[in-house]
Amino acid sequence: MYYIYHIPGHKYGMTQHYPQRCIDQGFDTYELTETHTDIMIGSEREKELNTTAGYPWNDGQYYYLMVERGTLNKGTPKSDTSKMKEYHQNRPKEHADKIQASKIGVPLSKELKQNISKGIAKNPKILCTHCEESYDPRNYSRWHGDNCKQKKG
């Protein structure tokens, strides 16, 4: 049985291990949306739900991931996310390129943009001693401090 679940504000997902999959991903708010016996129908429905709701989507999701990992219909332990982490750390460059290309031009939902803004706002600002402006750590280390255009000497 394949379960399609919804994590409000994040995504629709599909798993054979509901609700453990949601818990393993660190979510405590989730809901079961649909069940399917055919993985292809479930995968297409998962894609349809995500794109309709405005969530990011790439075609390398559940069905294709299971085929690539070689775990389709073999099942995986409910709490074993280490294989998935290992796969994502060592996935082939072609797969990473496909994922990146699929995300280009995908509009972000208003709620997701707000969540990203809130996360960025939590970063402490660093004052550049050369131009006397405050920046988030990533921009500071790249463009300010010793790299600041207004640095004298």
The pLDDT assigned to 78 comes to 40
At residue 23, what is the residue type? I
Per-residue pLDDT of the chain (153 residues; tens, 9 = 90+): 889 999 999 999 988 899 998 888 888 899 999 998 887 788 888 888 988 999 887 765 556 566 656 655 555 444 455 666 676 677 788 887 887 788 787 788 899 889 888 888 888 889 999 999 988 887 888 889 889 999 887
At residue 5, what is the residue type? Y
The pLDDT assigned to 62 comes to 59
Tokens describing residue 64: 């294709």
Please tell me what DSSP assigns to residue 71: -
Q: Are 130 and 144 contacting, i.e. CB atoms less than 8 angstroms apart?
A: yes
CA within 13 Å, CB half, 81: 11
